[in-house]
Every structure is written in C-alpha cells, then in structure tokens.
Amino acid sequence: MASCSPCALHGEVDPQGVTDRAPGTLAGIQVMPLDRAEQAVSTDSNGTWSLTMPGGLSVVEARGDAFVPGIAAVPRTWLDDPTRSVRVNVLVLAETAELHRTKFDTERDPERGFVVVIAVGPTAADVVDAEMTLDLAHPQAFGITEALVPVPGNRTIFHSQVFFPNTTAGAANATVVTAKGQPCLGPRDVPVRASTVTTIYFDCP
C-alpha cells in the first residue's frame, strides 16, 4: 500500500466509440477522486489530467457532457508513481448503442455498466493469454485482437484487456491470472454503476 497522503495520480481520458475522435476535442472533461466533485480538475485538449488523491484513495472518475462517464481503479502501489499513467475509459454518448451492437453483438442495457479489466506486466508478452474473471453477472466477455476486433472469451489476446459489457451494477471483484498461472494484484470492491464504464487495472509479474 502506498504510504503517501495525499498521493499523486495522473493519466488521460480515452473515449471509446465506433469512429475516431479528432484531436483537440477532449478539453474540459472533469476528472476527480471518486464521488469528490469539489476536487475535480479539467482535462487539456489531449485529455490528460493530474490529481492529488486524498487518503490513499485509488479510484478516479471522469465526466463530460458528450460521454458516458468512466471510473478507473488502480492498485494502491501505483499512487505517487510517476511512471504509472492511468487511462480512464469513457464511451462516446452518441455512439454507445451502436458500439454495443456492432462490436459486441448486443443491445446496451442502461441499467447495467460496462467493465474493462486491464493487465499490466513487465512486458506486453507477459500478459498475453491471461485469464480474467469478474464476480458480477455479465452475459459475455470479449478479448481484443491486434486489429481491435472483439472476440468472445475471457482471455487476453493481443491487447492486455478483456471487456465485460452489460455487467450488473455492484461492487466488482475481478481476478487476473497470467498464462504461467501467476496471480496479478488489483483493487477490490470496485464500483460498477449503471451507464458507466469501469476500468480495473491489475499489476502482473
């Protein structure tokens, strides 16, 4: 656990949709420690942000008028580590329904959330074929190919992440185990909320 208090955390907001967003469209998104709007900062034109996290809190949220909001939870060991950049995923609001249909062959359920689990290892190869599970109900998990095509399954393919669309709201506990059978370290009881993207980061050996 990080011994800093308060602690620094930085990263960028990453919109997910069916089209690429033009540069310069990401300024003014509000990023804050979870549920602490009074401590919000605004992103610059590249979507980058930097926060002071109170009391060792390691969960941030991002909100913008054009986006489905996002939450990102990281291991506490990432706090005050300048080498760790945290990507907060959000969905482009106007493209959310189409994204679910075209990428994940499902209809978006606004009463459920969208979960992304990401494994980070010493090298990209260390987190290929990692198995990811989620204890909240979800209809299907998807790995992502090199061509950014979702494929049903709960193992990483080329990219070190697995998507869980239409996940039941609640407190999520994910697990990540590498292809060598080594467990990874990540946050527990991460909030999954209706019409929100929750990204959960794991540190892998």
CATH-assigned architecture of domain 7-203 = Sandwich (2.60)
The whole model's pTM is what?
Answer: 0.95
- What are the tens digits of pLDDT across the range 111-145? 999 999 999 999 999 999 999 999 999 999 999 99
Model pLDDT for residues 64-110, shown as the tens digit of each residue: 999 999 999 999 999 999 999 999 999 999 999 999 999 999 999 99
> Where do the domains of the chain lie?
7-203
Q: Which of 127, 123, 114, 97 is nearest to 164 (CA)?
A: 114
pLDDT band at 1; cut points 50, 70, 90: very low
Strand partners, 142: 152, 163
Whether the CB-CB separation of 114 and 164 falls below 8 Å is answered with: yes
Kindly compute the dihedral angle of the four CA atoms of residues 101, 106, 111, 113, in this order, to the nearest 10 degrees.
-80
